[in-house]
Amino acid sequence: MTIKLHCFGESGNAYKAALALELAGLDWTPVFVDFFGGESRGADFRQLNVMGEVPVLEDDEVTLTQSGVMQLYVTEKTGRFGGRDKAEGREVMRWMFWDNHKMSSQAGMTRFLMNFLPEDKRPAEVIDFMRGRLKSAYKTLDAHLNGRDWIVGDAITNADLSCCGYLFYPEPFGFSRADWPNIDRWLSNIQATPGWKHPYDLMPGSPADRA
C-alpha cells in the first residue's frame, strides 16, 4: 500500500516527514491539506487527527501524527536515519528534541507572523523577540557543525532531517545561510543527498498558489 502523507508545501514539519520518506525511497504520495482554507481545523480532518495539525501519515492500518514520530517510523521500516548504534540513536533523539523545542517551533511561528499574516497584523515586538531566540538557536547549531558534515555521526540522520525542516524556505524569518557558514555547508550536504527535493517541489502548495 502506498503511504499517504497529508501535508502542504508551506509546512516545515510536514517537510521533515516528506523528506524522510523520499530519501528512504519509500512508496508514498502527498495528500494536499488546504491549511490556509481552514481544512485542518475542520471536523472531518479532526477525525483523522484530533490535534488538528499537519502532517498526518497513513500506512495501511497505521495512522501517525507528529513529524518526529513519522521520522522514527521510516527508520523502523528501513533501518535508515536512526544512527549506527544506541549511543548515536540517543544523540539523534537529543537533537530532534532540541530542534522541536528551540528551533523549528520558533522558526515556524516567526515565518508565519512575518509572511502569512496581513501586514497590519504582524506584531513587530513579538517578531523581534522570536528572531532573537532563533539567532541563539542558529548559533548553537552552527557551532556544533564546525568540522562536522552531519549533526550526528558520519551520515545523514533524523537529526539532520529535523533541524533542516524550515531552513530551505525562501520566505524571511530571520535566517540567512550566508550568516552561518557551517549551517550553509551542512545544508549543501543535505541538498547533495540523492533524492533531495525542495519543499515546494516535494509537496503540493506554495505561497505562489495563493498569489
Same domain membership, residue 38 and residue 11: yes
Q: b or e along 158-168 (b: 16 or more beta carbons within 10 Å of the residue's beta carbon)?
A: bbbbbbbbbbb
pLDDT beyond 90 at 188? yes
pLDDT at residue number 103:
98
Tell me, yes or no, whether 120 and 163 share the same domain.
yes
Residue 94, domain CATH: 1.20.1050.10
Q: Are residues 67 and 120 in the same domain?
A: no
**Domain CATH number, residue 34:** 3.40.30.10
Q: pLDDT digits over 96-120, tens only? A: 999 999 999 999 999 999 999 999 9
Q: How confident is the model at residue 23 (pLDDT cuts 50, 70, 90)?
A: very high
pLDDT (tens digit per residue) in 127-145? 999 999 999 999 999 999 9
Read off the pLDDT of each residue in 60-88 and give the average, rounded to a whole number.
98
Name which of 201, 203, 209, 206 is nearest 28 in CA terms: 203
Q: Does 39 lie in the same domain as 21?
A: yes
Q: What is the overall mean pLDDT for the chain?
A: 97
> Does 203 lie in the same domain as 168?
no
Residue 192: which pLDDT band, with cuts at 50, 70 and 90? very high
Q: Which domain holds residue 20?
A: 3-81+196-210
User: Do 32 and 120 have their domain in common?
Assistant: no
Question: What is the pLDDT at residue 79?
Answer: 98
99 and 137 co-located in one domain: yes
Whether residues 149 and 176 fall in one domain: yes
* Position 211 confidence tier, pLDDT thresholds 50, 70, 90: confident
- If you average pLDDT over residues 182-188, what whole number do you get? 98
- pLDDT for 138-180, tens place per residue? 999 999 999 999 999 999 999 999 999 999 999 999 999 999 9
Q: What is the spatial distance between Cα 65 and Cα 134, in angstroms, rounded to a whole number? A: 25
Give the pLDDT mean for 6-31.
Answer: 98
Structural domain tally of the chain?
A: 2
Q: Are residues 91 and 63 in the same domain?
A: no
pLDDT at 3 over 80: yes
Report whether pLDDT(71) > 80: yes
pLDDT reported for residue 210: 81
What stretches of the chain adopt beta strand conformation (E)? 3-7, 28-32, 56-59, 62-65
Residue 3 has φ and ψ, to the nearest 5°, of: -70, 135
**Do 203 and 164 reside in the same domain of the chain?**
no
Q: What is the mean predicted confidence (pLDDT) over 51-77?
A: 97
Q: Which three three-digit cell numbers place residue 65?
A: 501524527
Q: Residues 118, 203: one domain?
A: no
Residues 184 and 203 occupy one common structural domain: no
| Cα distances (Å, whole numbers) of residue 211 to 8, 10, 112, 159, 171 | 16, 14, 16, 34, 14
